[in-house]
Amino acid sequence: MEIVLSGIRSTGHLHLGNYYGALRNYIKMQDNFNCFFFIADLHSLTTHPHPDDFHAGVRTILAEYLASGLDPQKSAIFVQSDVPEILELYILLNMISYKGELERTTSFKDKIRQQPDNVNAGLLTYPVLMASDILIHRANLVPVGKDQEQHLEMARVLARRFNTFYNSEVFPEPKAFNFGDDLVKVPGLDGSGKMGKSEGNGVYLCDDEKSIRKKVMKAVTDAGPTEHNSEMPEPVANLFTLLKIVSDQSTVEEFTNSYNNCTIRYGDLKKQLAEDICKQTLPIKARIEEIYKDEEYLRKVVKRGTDLARESAQATLKEVRKAVGFRSFLSSDD
């Protein structure tokens, strides 16, 4: 059975980008693959969360995973920092990752612009840690959104490079995965770019009906089309992208037609969009709080997931250490 792995950083709450770009695929994959899903708490440290908030961040994502339908009986659900094997692989992969290629990563260049006072080494080697997350389970498929495509390419490069460097076949090349053909980019409601946690343009799985409606009704549009079949400006195209993601095909066709013949009323489009978002997210919201509070349940879920993840990680690390040439004085089976 093919191995699937993916994760989300523990910063804030999950939004529609996380859900439709990643989490919904996790849920669909659970029945047919050997799945590992985790919370990337170490990755979240690049932005220095306050120690008082750090654990709550992890717990939030865990509760939102489970409320969305991740099933701990089907998938191994764990927290990155509970699996130290990842970090050993991270050190080893760092030795075959080069400064130049890491500096050229788009996400690194973006971060330099966004946080010029905190360009730490963790940001530079972020893709190496991510490759370690993936390769430690020898994953074949990695469900992610479009923004992670370059990181996935780095994981593929490192898998190949390790195998060649150490003349081994330890790692398969992992592939980015989406149930459609292309990876998804969920746009924000502010007219341009993607929905993101730090962009302040998101609809969250934990939002209530009123705030979802308010956010959608405030979304940027324009004065409306004046010529038949005219090209959509980006903010309007973004609303249609969201509509295609959350609504059924006939709704999308209806509004596309009314755009093309210039009869569209953006207010109606937004009302429909808000309603269809609510239909998808409110049942999830209703479960989040209760799960978040259930300490005993969360502990059980993570215990089972961590045991599975460590077993898989240890098996890989054994192969890795052999390939690199470690021979321990301390154990007889090496």
What is the binding site for ligand TYM (CB under 6 A)? 5-9, 17-18, 21-22, 40, 43, 130, 133-134, 142, 144-148, 151, 184-186, 194-196
**Taking the CA atoms of the chain, what radius of gyration do you get in angstroms?**
22
CA distance 61 to 187: 21
Task: Considering the complex, state which of residue 17 and residue 225 has its C-beta at the smaller distance from ligand TYM.
Answer: 17
CA distance 62 to 77: 8
| 315: number of Cβ within 10 Å | 14
What's the min distance (Å) between Cβ of 105 and ligand TYM? 11
Please give the structure tokens belonging to residue 213: 């409606």
Task: Considering the complex, state which of residue 201 and residue 272 has its C-beta at the smaller distance from ligand TYM.
Answer: 201
Write the CB contacts of 204 (distance below 8 Å, at least 6 apart in sequence): 13, 14, 15, 16
What's the min distance (Å) between Cβ of 7 and ligand TYM? 4
**Helices and strands: H and E segment counts in the chain:** 15, 5
Among residues 74, 197, 271, 318, the one annotated as catalytic is: 197
Among residues 194, 215, 270, 285, the one annotated as catalytic is: 194
What's the min distance (Å) between Cβ of 21 and ligand TYM? 2
Reply yes or no on whether 197 is catalytic: yes
Task: Considering the complex, state which of residue 151 and residue 156 has its C-beta at the smaller distance from ligand TYM.
Answer: 151
What's the min distance (Å) between Cβ of 264 and ligand TYM? 25
Q: For CA atoms 210, 62, 154, 44, give the dihedral sign.
A: positive
What's the min distance (Å) between Cβ of 151 and ligand TYM? 6
Task: Considering the complex, state which of residue 134 and residue 189 has its C-beta at the smaller distance from ligand TYM.
Answer: 134
Task: Considering the complex, state which of residue 67 and residue 264 has its C-beta at the smaller distance from ligand TYM.
Answer: 67
Task: Considering the complex, state which of residue 242 and residue 323 has its C-beta at the smaller distance from ligand TYM.
Answer: 242
End-to-end CA distance of the chain: 29
What's the min distance (Å) between Cβ of 2 and ligand TYM? 15
Task: Give one DSSP letter per residue of 140-186, joined into a string.
Answer: SEEE--GGGHHHHHHHHHHHHHHHHHTT----PPPEEE-SSSSPP--
Reply yes or no on whether 28 is catalytic: no
Instruction: Identify the bridge partners of residue 175 per DSSP, sorted by sequence position.
Output: 141
Nearest 10 degrees: Cα torsion 49, 55, 60, 65: 110
Task: Considering the complex, state which of residue 57 and residue 72 has its C-beta at the smaller distance from ligand TYM.
Answer: 57
Write 293-302 long-range contacts (CB < 8 A, 24+): 298/59, 298/62, 298/63, 300/72, 301/62, 301/66, 301/72, 301/77, 302/62, 302/77, 302/78, 302/79, 302/82
Q: For CA atoms 68, 310, 42, 319, give the dihedral sign.
A: negative
What's the min distance (Å) between Cβ of 86 and ligand TYM? 9
The secondary structure of residue 223, as a DSSP letter, is: S
Q: Which residue numbers are catalytic?
A: 111, 194, 197
